[in-house]
Amino acid sequence: MTNERCPCVHPCAEAHINAAIMQQGESFRYKRGDVLWHQGDAADWMLVVCTGTLKLTREWPGGRDVILDLVHRGQLVGAGAALPQARYTSTCTALASGKGIRIDRPRLRTLLEHQPELGITLLELSHIRLQSFVDRLEEMAHGPVEQRLARVLLRIGDHVGLPDSRGTFVPVRLTRGDLAGMVGCRVETTIRVLTRWQREGVVETRREGLVIKDRQQLTQFMHPVA
């Protein structure tokens, strides 16, 4: 799409898609807990994640926040900034400290005028994100908690997991509340399931993240026998 080079020392797999945006954007850092924008705010800028993890949440009826998706290294978020008068459909919060490249709406619009093929890419990415939201909502509505929690942990492990002697290390500090928000259940239920899984040697929760020790068992939880 472009022959511009990604400015990162170690480019991610999506560098060929993100390079033009990263060349025109500005670098900034965020700490765990920082809110980058709230649901309903004007979509003034778009972001490419370089390091760290972001979570996208949406307020549910009754005031409960549901985690729609996690955004990791190399992924784009906030593509609505390409549209005039668009607003963010979810709240974006830093789940793990890191760095990103952001580009504001005026510069993004100018970039799209010079590289219209980038607009098609953003449309495709927006469709993928929307489909991911739909899949997440369906996940939260169907199946027992064990099945939904196993599916979430395996998906995160596939995205950011690092193999080590213990199994697959997930370097993201997910609280019991975070996991409950992704699964759509009470925090107490998440605690009860994770405590049992830790006792059985399936997962191990640590201060700096989580270890999937028995992926095969988690996969079996995801596909329970009728």
Same domain, 102 and 189: no
CA–CA distance, 5 with 22 (Å, rounded to integer)? 9
CATH number, domain with residue 80:
2.60.120.10
Domain ends where: 100, 117, 136? 136
Q: Under a CB-based contact definition with an 8 Å cutoff, are residues 172 and 180 in contact? A: no
Same domain, 91 and 202: no
Supply the pLDDT for residue 2.
Answer: 36
pLDDT along the chain (226 residues), means of 10: 45 58 85 94 92 87 76 87 88 92 90 83 77 72 84 87 88 86 86 93 88 91 67
CA–CA distance, 110 with 126 (Å, rounded to integer)? 19
Same domain, 22 and 124: yes
Supply the pLDDT for residue 98.
Answer: 92
Same domain, 47 and 124: yes
User: 114, exposed or middle or buried, with CB in 10 Å at 0-12, 13-18, 19+?
Assistant: exposed
The two tokens of residue 98 are: 């890191």
Same domain, 156 and 129: no
User: Phi and psi (nearest 5°) for 147?
Assistant: -65, -45
Q: Under a CB-based contact definition with an 8 Å cutoff, are residues 217 and 150 in contact? A: no
Supply the pLDDT for residue 8.
Answer: 54
Task: Mention every residue, 6+ apart, whose C-beta is less than 8 A from residue 206.
Answer: none
Q: Helix, strand or coil for residue 52? A: coil
Domain ends where: 76, 108, 136? 136
Give domain status of residue 86, yes or no: yes
Domain ends where: 109, 136, 163? 136
Same domain, 184 and 97: no
Question: For the chain, what is the radius of gyration of the CA atoms?
Answer: 18
Supply the pLDDT for residue 1.
Answer: 35
Give domain status of residue 3, yes or no: no
Same domain, 130 and 19: yes
CATH number, domain with residue 163:
1.10.10.10
Structural domains of the chain, count: 2
Supply the pLDDT for residue 225.
Answer: 56
One DSSP character per residue, 13-37 reads: TTHHHHHHHHHHSEEEEE-TT-EEE
Same domain, 150 and 128: no
Same domain, 196 and 95: no
Same domain, 130 and 172: no
Supply the pLDDT for residue 40.
Answer: 93
Same domain, 24 and 130: yes
CA–CA distance, 103 with 200 (Å, rounded to integer)? 46
Same domain, 184 and 89: no
Residue-range definition of the domain harbouring residue 74: 15-136
Q: Which helix (H) or strand (E) holds 222?
A: helix 215-222
Supply the pLDDT for residue 4.
Answer: 45
